[in-house]
Amino acid sequence: MVNSHFTGNRCDRTGPDLGGAALRVLNQHRGRPVYLVNSTFERGSCSNGGAVSSIGVSWVVLNCIMKNNEATGYGANPAKTGTPGGGSGGAIYTDGFHTRGLPGIFFLGARPPTVTASALG
């Protein structure tokens, strides 16, 4: 995704396996990363990952702006008893471990992501 602008995208407000108001990636040829370059994601809203979301995919994020995106769900993934699930990664959600020091990102994976020259929020 190069030189793109996404504004005000929406997807389901709650649910444990829902995400990526602008972009949802579930697989990538030969396990290669998905590149986001010089792109803007703003005011996206989804249960998880108000901007982008993935399962089993790694990302390379270069010179991107992600602002005012929100994860609207609550109750985590898998959903805690009595909740609809979701609420992780205001900007980016992908299955893996919590990413300390990177606001707006929830990541579960083999190693923490690297974010270079990008604004997150």
Least Cα distance to 86 among 20, 7, 9, 24 occurs for 20
> 118 Cβ partners below 8 Å, 6+ apart?
61, 62, 63, 64, 65, 66
Residue 98 belongs to what domain range?
1-121
Q: Rounded to two decimals, what is the model's pTM?
A: 0.77
- Residue 10, strand partner residues: 45
Q: What distance, in Å, lies between the first and last C-alpha atoms of the chain?
A: 19
Distance of alpha carbon 83 from alpha carbon 114, whole angstroms = 32
CB hemisphere CA count around 15 (13 angstroms): 9
Per-residue tokens: 110: 């083999």
Kindly report, residue by residue over 83-102, the tens digit of the pLDDT.
999 988 888 888 755 456 66
Q: Domain count of the chain?
A: 1
Q: Which two tokens stand for residue 24?
A: 């949802």
Please state, for a pLDDT cut of 90, what percent of the chain lies above it: 50
